[in-house]
Copies of this chain bind each other. A is one copy, B any other.
């Protein structure tokens, strides 16, 4: 479908916004009035600029407080509308958005509203323009799309139709199924936004906390199924008021916005295929929907790669040894070392430029995940606009396609299912000793990325769309100097888990930037804790008060608590009875924490109840 975006969805001056939107290959743009009013660029210049850049002006918005006005105000409103229609002509816009009246002067009279909208449609008609009427969720009398359609139907003017906005409909908990009953000729425009479920004033929610499709929790494919079932064929235009995008860079926001629409189209296609949702639509043209290669099955983490300085970054080797790893090989053509323990592989990369721009590491440089179909994974990533990273590959070396995740982290697609001797190890000269059993660490349980404010939702969308992981809802974790917002994603069998952390407040947002975590799984955390101590590992000291509280909370046996305390192990229990054990080591350098965890009884979370204690211990 034709894809658009409102200028208000992106930061910057109007010129910066238009450039970013065009670069992201949008077909159309909604000009948000305030962006034009504050700009030094005249409307005619905006028109010229867009003619050069590509996108057309699909909508001018918003025109407020117009309809259902008493006779002493309405003539002023008509004159106001004429000024705006003049402006649209200069701008090259042909559709005007009228949102339902919020003024205290508005009269609760649908016939009056219809009559006045008819008059506006006549004015628009004279110029060949159209008027799209939208029910705001907080309109004074009109809040519901059915109500706005009743008024449009009563006004009965070919140049008057509806604008439907997913936020205004889904935020109120309205059933969008009624949309399929609206004649498609009467739907002039569809705006799309997602949002997390928040219990707050809907106007504030709408103006500050919308997000891109796939980043929130609205059922947008379900919404759009009704939209296309009506016969509507586009455009889909993003209108995302967001406190995050207000301050993010315009270019990356626009690129991410395009990815979100592509992923949404794919999800809609999947839904329509399942529901057969377009049966009986014979009369309408086919819906054109994006169709990338579907996600391949992921089988788990294959490796974790750390950037280290050419001297190996002092302390890194000691830290890895104390975790039970042993240096087990070297890359044939690159300055990369291989450390192993059971099925676990850690690569330390001291190539020039590996840690470019970062303080001396070790820093998380990349993760490798196993996929049932490397090429499919890579092609899907490319289709969904992930940045494919150029790689230098020696003759005969293994093909491992890599994409940028976000910020400074990359992801490699490795062939799956190669067990203890992964295929990609062929690139390494291995020593002759066997793989050490080390401290009993078996695999990577999860990787936690600490992201700045403008990469958090972007990363959610990346993992959800490119890898096909399922996100959980966000939670908030308190720490001594702030709050951390945290959201996890996982594949179906839990073999690839990612946690995204966003330090939200002040000093914490500063100090924790870039402190990624790698969590290793083990089968017996008490034995592993003992083994780690024997390897010389230092565990973060945990407050005795924490264990006293555990006793009160869970009534654990004394012996159990003593063992937890001795190992510096944190504990959590799921409502269903599954248990979680975690222990944190000292930071390795200033950008990486290592955690060791054990899950029993189907525990699926990450020990949020321990976060405050853990974060205090990590200061």
Contacts and interface: CB of A to CB of B under 8 A. Distances in A.
Interface of A: 11-13, 33-34, 36-43, 76, 79-80, 83-84, 87, 198-201, 203-204, 243, 246-248, 453-454, 478, 480-483, 504-508, 541, 543-546, 548-549, 551-553, 555, 612-613, 615-617, 619
17 contacts: A12-B481, A13-B480, A34-B478, A37-B549, A38-B480, A39-B616, A40-B541, A40-B543, A41-B545, A43-B545, A83-B548, A84-B552, A87-B548, A199-B201, A243-B504, A246-B478, A246-B481
Nearest to A509: B247
B201 A552 contact: no
A298 B313 CA distance: 63
Contacts of A39: 543, 545, 616
A483 B42 contact: no
Contacts of A36: 545
A126 to B, nearest CB: 18
Contacts of A552: 79-80, 83-84
B545 A480 contact: no
A507 B12 CA distance: 11
A352 to B, nearest CB: 32
A505 B619 CA distance: 26
Contacts of A453: 506
A94 B612 CA distance: 26
Nearest to A11: B481
Nearest to A199: B201
Number of copies of this protein chain within its complex = 2
A505 B541 CA distance: 36
A557 B40 CA distance: 23
Nearest to A43: B545
A602 to B, nearest CB: 21
Nearest to A453: B506
Contacts of A87: 548
B612 A37 contact: yes
Given A33-B549, A34-B478, A38-B612, 9 more contacts: A37-B613, A40-B541, A40-B543, A42-B544, A199-B200, A199-B204, A246-B505, A247-B481, A247-B508
B506 A37 contact: no
B37 A546 contact: yes
Minimum-distance CB pairs A-B, first 10: A247-B506, A199-B201, A83-B552, A38-B616, A200-B200, A247-B505, A38-B613, A80-B552, A37-B549, A247-B482
Contacts of A505: 243, 246-247
Contact of A546 (B38, B248, B507): B38
Contacts of A544: 40, 42
Contacts of A619: 13
Contacts of A12: 480-481
Contact of A246 (B246, B247, B482): B482
Contacts of A37: 543, 545-546, 549, 612-613
A548 to B, nearest CB: 7
A248 B507 CA distance: 8
Given A200-B204, A483-B246, A613-B37, A42 B11 contact: no
Contacts of A40: 541, 543-544
Contacts of A541: 40
A87 B548 CA distance: 9
A483 B548 contact: no
A412 B130 CA distance: 60
A203 to B, nearest CB: 8
B480 A42 contact: no
Of the candidates A37, A204, A546, A612, the one having the most CB atoms from chain B within 10 angstroms of its own CB is A37
